[in-house]
Amino acid sequence: MCVCVCVCVCVCVCVCVCVCVVYVCMYVCMYIYVCVHVCIYIYIYIYIYICIYVCMYVGMYVCMYVCMYVCVCMYVCMYVCMYVCMYVCTYVRMYVCIYVCMYVCMYVYMYVCMYVCMYVCMYVCIFACMYGWVDGWMDVYIFA
């Protein structure tokens, strides 16, 4: 009788301990899993915001200055204005006309061209940040 009670107690204790260990392990693993995935999400969003910040405030200005010197519309406009002014304006007013035309070309069309290029650069970069990098990370995240 005593042996039976001892065996029952031992089995009960072992089962209880095993169940407790399993539950504790399960909860610990669950919290670790959740924590890791939350950390991955936080890291992804931090990366996206840093990337967008770099695109908008660094790449945008680099693109702006490149556009300012390379943009075709600025040079085309300046040359067209210059030749139109040279042939249309009188000799007395030619210099005034050329300066006005070049001023309009340089400060209107140049900025239009520059801002178009700037926004194209910015949106391409944001799209690359948000979809290119995250898609690659989400593939890793899904299969992890």
Summarised one tens digit per residue, pLDDT across range 36-90 is 666 666 666 666 676 666 666 665 566 556 555 555 555 666 666 667 666 766 5
Question: Is the residue at 26 inside a domain?
Answer: no
- Average pLDDT of the chain, as a whole number: 62
Take residue 121 and report the two structure tokens written for it: 């650069």
Question: Is the residue at 121 inside a domain?
Answer: yes
CB–CB of 48/134 below 8 Å?
yes
Considering only CA atoms, which of 118, 131, 133, 116 is closest in space to residue 55?
Answer: 118
Structural domain containing residue 89: 33-143
Question: Is the residue at 118 inside a domain?
Answer: yes
CB–CB of 77/109 below 8 Å?
yes
Question: Is the residue at 66 inside a domain?
Answer: yes
pLDDT level of residue 144 (50, 70, 90 thresholds): very low
Question: Is the residue at 72 inside a domain?
Answer: yes
Quote the pLDDT of residue 142.
45
Question: Is the residue at 5 inside a domain?
Answer: no
Instruction: Please count the structural domains in the chain.
Output: 1
Question: Is the residue at 1 inside a domain?
Answer: no
Question: Is the residue at 24 inside a domain?
Answer: no
pLDDT at 92 over 60: no
Quote the pLDDT of residue 100.
72
Residue 116 CA from chain centroid, whole number: 19
Tell me, yes or no, if the pTM score tops 0.85: no
79-118 CB burial, b ≥16 within 10 A, e <16: eebeeebeeebeeeeeeebbeebbeebeeebbeebbeebb
Task: Count the neighbouring beta carbons within 10 Å of the beta carbon of residue 125.
Answer: 19
pLDDT at 102 over 50: yes
- The pLDDT of 111-139, averaged and rounded, is 61
